[in-house]
Amino acid sequence: MSASKRKTAAVILAAGKGVRMRSVLPKVLHPLMGKPLVSYVIESCRKAKVDRLLVVIGYQAERVRDTLGADLEYVEQTRQLGTGHALMTAKEKLQGFKGDLLAGDTPFLTPDVLKKLLSRHRRTGAAATLMTAVMDPPLSYGRIVRDKAGKLVRIVEERDASPEEKKITEVNTSHYVFQSEKAFPLLARLSSNNDQGEYYLTDVIQMLVEGRHRVETLTSDDPAVLMGINNRKHLAEAQACLQAKVVDGLMEKGVTIVDPKSVCIGPDVRIGADTLVHPFTMLTGRTQIGSECVIGPCVRIEDSRIGDGCHIEFAVLEYRKIDSGKTIGPFAFMTVDESKKKWNAEKGAVSRKTENHSDKNI
């Protein structure tokens, strides 16, 4: 099978409880800008045209399944014994699959980076390709050890690294692509004989190197791909990072945002050119705002469609469609009945048939 025709399956790790989050909610379901953490990985895989998506679930499996929906393949990992064990768990579901396996779970792996990783993997014919990043200082990430010719020798974890190895600034981001035909046979050889008692995907990389199989790397120039989220502080840092990217993208498209640090704008929000966004504005869901509007201050808009030239201040709008040229507020609250909220995804607007007006001071 030619490289361009090989199928791709992604194994998305979503089984852990996330103990350091101090929450009954599974870590992967904690919201990042209004969307579950794991949904970012799923969306990136879909946009990168990955053929199969397998979500490895464990803690509160049914809750995760219900949140993400029935259009995904699920594999239940009853005991969470590491990244290698997650792939071992998914192997049975992938019985007979011959293609490229993606593995990872951090939310900042974009579709473009994912495509580049797959492209390099296929272009070089590698048995495995992993993503790296340069970070100085490298903190606690696994170091990429290379020989004099620049070839990967091994990945050494911080706790096992020598003083010289700890000085290495190229680190493992924990995003991998494997040829299934090369990786699956090695899973049976994985051992949990380590201080964590877990099975690691990095051991599969090591076995491929020792077996003289080709292992390639792709170095990302965006350290955000490293950003794992294990506690509330990490979640806040990720929120700030993603928000900065969203705001920068909007300003590049001609949107004026008076105080970028005081607004919260979701990644799926669309805003037209020459619109002015004042401080303390929150725009979430699939909200669409036209051009030449003035939004804020002190506005929250959720899953609504706003026409061109609208002026909205000191107001809350939920699931509404506002015609061009309207002025809303101050002190307006516009919503629809909770049981009848319905977004018409095809038209990008709320179904007018379901509206139950509760408008004040329009």
Look at residue 224 in the predicted model and tell me its pLDDT: 79
Using an 8 Å Cβ cutoff, are 64 and 29 in contact?
yes
Count CA within 13 A, CB hemisphere, residue 271: 30
pTM here is 0.83
- pLDDT (tens place) for every residue of the chain, 362 residues total: 555 578 999 999 999 888 889 999 999 999 999 899 999 999 999 999 999 999 999 999 999 999 999 999 999 998 889 889 999 999 989 999 999 999 987 788 889 999 999 999 999 999 999 999 998 888 888 999 999 999 999 999 888 899 999 999 999 998 999 999 999 999 999 998 887 888 989 999 999 999 999 999 999 888 778 787 889 999 999 999 999 999 999 999 999 999 999 999 999 999 999 999 999 999 999 999 999 999 999 999 999 999 999 999 999 999 999 999 999 999 999 998 554 455 443 334 333 333 333 343 33
Range of the domain at 300: 253-354
Integer-rounded Cα radius of gyration of the chain = 23
Q: What is the DSSP string of 19-70?
A: GGG-SSS-GGGSEETTEEHHHHHHHHHHHTT-SEEEEEE-TTHHHHHHHH-T
Look at residue 226 in the predicted model and tell me its pLDDT: 76
Number of domains in the chain: 2
Instruction: Indicate whether 16 and 95 sit together in one domain.
Output: yes
Look at residue 355 in the predicted model and tell me its pLDDT: 35
Look at residue 213 in the predicted model and tell me its pLDDT: 96
Using an 8 Å Cβ cutoff, are 72 and 64 in contact?
no
Instruction: Indicate whether 257 and 181 sit together in one domain.
Output: no
Distance in angstroms (rounded) separating the CA atoms of residues 219 and 11: 21
The CATH number for 338's domain is 2.160.10.10
Instruction: Indicate whether 71 and 198 sit together in one domain.
Output: yes
Instruction: Indicate whether 198 and 304 sit together in one domain.
Output: no
Q: Is 225 among the domain residues?
A: no
- DSSP state letter for 142: P
Q: Is 246 among the domain residues?
A: no
Instruction: Indicate whether 327 and 188 sit together in one domain.
Output: no
Look at residue 80 in the predicted model and tell me its pLDDT: 85
Instruction: Indicate whether 185 and 313 sit together in one domain.
Output: no
Q: Is 226 among the domain residues?
A: no
Instruction: Indicate whether 189 and 313 sit together in one domain.
Output: no
Instruction: Indicate whether 105 and 46 sit together in one domain.
Output: yes
160, 187, 215: which is the final residue of a domain? Answer: 215
152, 185, 215: which is the final residue of a domain? Answer: 215
Instruction: Indicate whether 193 and 264 sit together in one domain.
Output: no
- The closest alpha carbon to 15, from 61, 65, 63, 66, belongs to 61
Q: Is 202 among the domain residues?
A: yes
185, 215, 245: which is the final residue of a domain? Answer: 215
Q: What is the DSSP string of 163-221?
A: TTGGG--EEEEEEEEEEHHHHHHHHTT----STT----HHHHHHHHHHTT--EEEEEES
Q: Is 151 among the domain residues?
A: no
